[in-house]
Chains A and B, each alone.
Chain A
Amino acid sequence: MSIFINKKTKLLVQGITGRDGSFHAEQMKKYGTNVVGGVTPGKGGTKIAGIPVFNTVSEAVEKTKANTSVIYVPPPFAADAVYEAADAGIELIVCITEGVPANDMMKVVPFVKARGARLIGPNCPGLISPDQSKVGILPGTIVKKGNVGVVSRSGTLTYEAIWALTLAGLGQTTCIGIGGDQVIGTNFIDVLDAFEKDASTKAVVMIGEIGGNDEEKAAQFIKKNMSKPVVAFIAGQTAPPGKRMGHAGAIISGGSGTAADKITALNKAGIPVAGSPTEIPELLKEQMKKVKPAKKKTAARTTKTTKKKAAKKTAKKSTKKKTAKKATKKTTKKTAKKTTKKSAKKSTKKTTKKAAKKSASKKKSSTSKKKSTKKAK
């Protein structure tokens, strides 16, 4: 199991004829990703590394049934490439391009959401589900299949953390770089939520850096909504304060956003923060040990019932193990379903409450508007 991408991922590469696009299309194909096509306007009908190239995304989707797209086009055309992918019905759009203007992204992000698609990035390394699919530029050699989810705002720092996990024998379900830009399609909370719901992910590593307050918000989310252990790392503890201009940044952030602020927020939420990327595996192992006692009871129960079932169902010794496995799978699936249902109910409740609040505040503001217009008259 994994999140966002798996064996069923059918990938398009937008900008496949460029230097980075062609190189990484081949790398992804070599890794085992099902790369079904590429798109470069004007290059339709040609082939890159055996991959058919199309002129438009909609044509490529029609011919290949692609459901995912990765974008390597230059910054001035990146936003348009995202629009094109979302418009053609692509479900997951991963934008690797660095240097996309924030004004473009502010308009693109709501467009993609309205189409029901998910955007990861821009300015990100993409994602990889070991032994299943790789979308982006993460080196396939450093990952290993396992049960740890990795989410990061950084690119190369992510590789460092993944490599440390792999060396320590901790494999991964999915590793995702969400990008370091101010306006991005998928944030920490979106990914943490997906990892919490993914049955195969048992623990999560979150890598943040200075600036913004996404890590602080993620800390709150983890405390409230996550049962799985999370370990964090924050880069930029020694970064010098920038030569700041204007006051708006300080007013809007309330002065937060430093590494120290983020580490404090994470620790307060009970999330340990590693001092070096190489310390992440040890911390994670400690946290994973802590989780076990709480789950022992249910684990014991399921094995009992499965044993009974297994004993009843079969006489053959050799098949015993297999059925036991199947049975545990079933029960875990059931419990997983139940919990997701519950959480879904909770979240709908919350959202309706929020919506109610919102409409209330809207009413307030509209009445105040009336007042002010009266005054004006």
Chain B
Amino acid sequence: MNLHEYQAKQLFAQAGIPVPPGEMATSPIAAFDIAERYNKPVMVKAQVHVGGRGKAGGVKYAENAEAARVLATKIIGMDIKGLEVKKVLVTVAEEILSEAYVGIILDRATQRPVIMVSPAGGIDIEEVAAKTPEKIFKLAVDPVEGLKPFQARDLAYKLYRDIGQVRQAADIIMKLYQVYWTSDASLVEINPLVTVPGGDVVALDAKMNIDDNGLYRRKEIAEMRDIEAEEPSEVKARESDLSFVKLDGNIGCIVNGAGLAMATMDLVKRYGGEPANFLDIGGSSNPAKVVAAMSIILSDPNVKAILINIFGGITRCDDVANGIVAAYNELNPSVPVVVRLTGTNEAEAQKILASMNLPTEDTLDKVVQKAISLADVVA
């Protein structure tokens, strides 16, 4: 799950990481009020779950409250990489003397949280990493022991020469690791971490991704989920405990297992079709999941055929077959459906489906080819 900048900054502030004062607004008038209260120049920042907001024109400087109102009018409703901006953060503008980078991510290679810092922070950090990797410093933290103050100091020395700033940065890094661990995050990032006149070190931006598997024990974070900022079909899928990603093709896919779902999509493309979605009904499927999957896919007007590819393991084919029967009764699909069920309780499933008169195939390649030919007929 992704958090917005304003939400991440709330968590940072709670942990004692210095962030500039700011508040979220959903209307230009609210933005005006916030800026007027601060009575200082502010930044108006689009709150949207995608990178590159600044480059897309979603982050602007406002001299006064009226300017903030005008900018908010422009930014709210703006489209950034396909997502509509519905919220802005109005935050006190700081004079920036230097920009550094601090990030913590779960690193698959070391199977540990890795802290990365660079004195060359800012919007071009990825270019810095690619061209001058010597400017990026990394530390894999022992997850059992946690981050030690000397390690945070070591990293802080890579960022600043002034001992006062080193101490502040070390403190921020320690607190950031606490935020990372206690919120079950998979990523926390401050870019840029800036120094301001007077010498203070401040987190000017904040990004956080949360490990979905940890949300059950982080209720206060789970409640921060902004459903309006997500694709509606993906929200519905999550509520039904399905993983779903909408794509642009016309072959709807219902598959069990992420790997098989991806391989099925790959084959659709290979045989000349275009998948309409990625959909994994997961393990331990109950029939209701199949009904939900079918209704999500049918809500996409591009879909011309649906292929159901199940290789039963923990998923029982008879559960899925019962789901298909229920889906037909409830939804009466207007597009052709082709089914392939193999594995655990396959024979029982075939008995259930026998009365349905659905086209069935026995191999992956065949079910994909059949779906493509059915879609072509409909189109």
Q: Which residues of A contact B (CB under 8 A)?
A: 19-20, 24, 27, 75-76, 96, 98-103, 105-107, 109-111, 125, 137-139, 141-142, 152-160, 163, 180, 182-184, 207, 209-214, 217, 233, 235-240, 243-252, 254-255, 275-278, 369, 372, 375-376
Residue of A nearest to B50 (CB): A243
Find out whether the CB atom of A235 lies under 8 angstroms from the CB atom of B113. Answer: no
Residue of A nearest to B268 (CB): A238
Other contacts beyond A141-B343, A213-B108: 17, CB < 8 A: A19-B284, A102-B186, A102-B213, A106-B111, A106-B143, A125-B313, A138-B313, A139-B312, A156-B255, A157-B262, A211-B108, A239-B262, A247-B189, A249-B105, A277-B263, A278-B365, A376-B163
B326 to chain A, nearest CB (A): 19
CA distance A184 to B106 in the complex (A): 13
Find out whether the CB atom of A248 lies under 8 angstroms from the CB atom of B116. Answer: yes
Judge if B363 is at the interface, Cβ distance under 8 Å. Answer: yes
Find out whether the CB atom of B263 lies under 8 angstroms from the CB atom of A248. Answer: no
Question: Of A107, A160, A250, which contacts B260 at CB under 8 A?
Answer: A160
Judge if B181 is at the interface, Cβ distance under 8 Å. Answer: yes
Residue of A nearest to B284 (CB): A20
Segment of B12-20, B22-30, B122-130 engaged in the interface with chain A? B122-130
Query: Per DSSP, are chain B's interface residues mostly helix, strand or loop, or mixed?
Result: mixed
Find out whether the CB atom of A207 lies under 8 angstroms from the CB atom of B259. Answer: yes
Interchain residue pairs with CB less than 8 A apart (12): A20-B284, A75-B216, A76-B216, A103-B143, A111-B144, A142-B342, A155-B259, A235-B266, A236-B266, A239-B265, A245-B49, A245-B187
Question: Of A158, A211, A245, A369, which contacts B154 at CB under 8 A?
Answer: A369
B324-370 interface with A by 8 A CB criterion: 342-344, 363-365
Find out whether the CB atom of B284 lies under 8 angstroms from the CB atom of A276. Answer: no
Find out whether the CB atom of A248 lies under 8 angstroms from the CB atom of B213. Answer: no
Find out whether the CB atom of A245 lies under 8 angstroms from the CB atom of B364. Answer: no
Q: Which residues of B contact A (CB under 8 A)?
A: 2, 49-51, 81, 83, 101, 103-109, 111-114, 116, 125-126, 129-130, 136, 138, 143-144, 150, 154, 157, 163, 166, 181, 184, 186-187, 189, 191, 207, 209, 211, 213-214, 216-217, 245, 247, 255-260, 262-263, 265-270, 275, 278, 282-284, 310-315, 342-344, 363-365
* Number of interchain pairs (Cβ within 8 Å): 215
Question: Of A96, A109, A254, A275, which contacts B270 at CB under 8 A?
Answer: A275
User: Which residues from chain A contact B259 at a C-beta distance below 8 Å?
Assistant: 152-158, 180, 207, 209, 235
A200 to chain B, nearest CB (A): 25
User: Which residues from chain B contact A239 at a C-beta distance below 8 Å?
Assistant: 262, 265, 278
B4 to chain A, nearest CB (A): 10
CA distance A235 to B217 in the complex (A): 32
